Structure 1
Amino acid sequence: MVTFSPTGWAARYKDPEYPNLVVQEAVERFSEDGDALVVDRRYGTLIPARARTGFVGLVECGRMMSVVPAPPGWRVGGQTDDGYAWSDPVVAWLVDETGTGYPLIRDGRHLTMVEDAVSEYTLSGPDDPDPSVKPDTDSDGGDGRSVGEAVQ
């Protein structure tokens, strides 16, 4: 599912091979006539979303404002259901329209939002002495800093 797009909208399509499967694609921009435009990968151009087979409609998603490189030392980590501990460097921050930053990690050859890959994780910054130690929490259960504060 599309979590973010440049416009804050995603086009939904039924997969012709799997009718119960609905896929989403980012709306890159709107035409002067108001058509939602998506990428046609085959021809390398933008086409109206409704022109693609299986078009269902548009749904709102987060609006991506920018992606900025992460300063060295930011990491995310967690534990899999079978107990395997993992830790990956944050390579960039995706910033949405509210100014909130979301950590991006490398997943093979692609960048992935951590929230799309795992449901729970710990974020540690360059000043955290030991990334495996969970930070002290304040009264609301958080660590006293939001991810958005990290990119400002």
Structure 2
Amino acid sequence: MIPAIGWSAAYSATPDSPAVYSRDVIAWDSAGRALVVDERKGTLVPASDPGDDGLTFRRLEERGRPGRIVPGDGWTAQLTWDHGGMTVERVLAWEIDANGNGGRPLFASPVGPMPLQSFVGVEGVEYEHATDATASTRA
């Protein structure tokens, strides 16, 4: 096994579900497959193998080297979806990579912090801070 740093596996509840969950890739096996923790079995399993949890594997995502996490402190993101809907999500924290780049927002999800890139179907996002509702940033 080769330790994996900075990779995650993305999953969805159904093949056409817009919500995507991620799990950290722990290692690569001798065949080059990404391995994640199967909490129920207490072992590492290939990320792409269907598990007992009913989640569908979508893709691997490179997250970069570990860096810092800073609190979201009052920031929200208004997400515009490809189906025309809109939701407002609280930014849980901002992820800064080891090179100081970042400001990548992390949102709360049932399986832990989730980056914006894990949402499927987002066409646009606008960030706003609670203390200055007039100063917003589009991404």
TM-score, normalised relative to structure 1: 0.47
Correspondence 1:96-107 to 2 at 5 A: 96-98=97-99, 99-107=101-109
What is the deviation of 1:67? 5.9
Give the whole-Å Cα distance in 1 for the aligned partners of 2:133 and 2:7: 40
Where does structure 2 lack aligned partners over 5 or more consecutive residues? 10-21, 51-59
CA contact (8 A) 2:79 2:125 kept: yes
TM-fit CA distance, 1:88 = 1.5
Alignment correspondent of 2:41 = 43
Q: How many residues are treated as equivalent by the alignment?
A: 112
Structure number having the greater strand percentage: 2
- For residues 64-115 of structure 1, the C-alpha deviation after alignment (integer angstroms, 9 at most, x for no partner) is 5156352421111133345433212101223334331311122356432122
Q: Looking at CA atoms only, which structure, 1 or 2, has the larger radius of gyration?
A: 1
Report matched runs for 1:1-152 at 5 Å: 7-9=5-7, 26-29=24-27, 38-46=36-44, 61-66=62-67, 68-98=69-99, 99-108=101-110, 110-117=112-119, 118-130=122-134, 134-135=136-137
Instruction: Assess, with a 3 A threshold, how the Cα gap between structure 1 residues 120 and 130 changes in structure 2: closer, same or farther.
Output: same
Question: Which structure dedicates a bigger proportion of its chain to helix?
Answer: 1
Whether the 8 Å contact between 1:64 and 1:94 is mirrored in structure 2 is: no
Percent of matched pairs sharing the same residue: 25
* 1:7 match: secondary structure: coil
Q: Is the 8 A contact 1:67 1:92 kept in 2?
A: no
Report how far residue 43 of structure 1 moved.
Answer: 3.1
| Structure 1: runs of 5+ lacking an equivalent | 1-5, 12-23, 54-58, 136-141, 144-152
TM-score of the two chains, using structure 2 as the length reference: 0.50
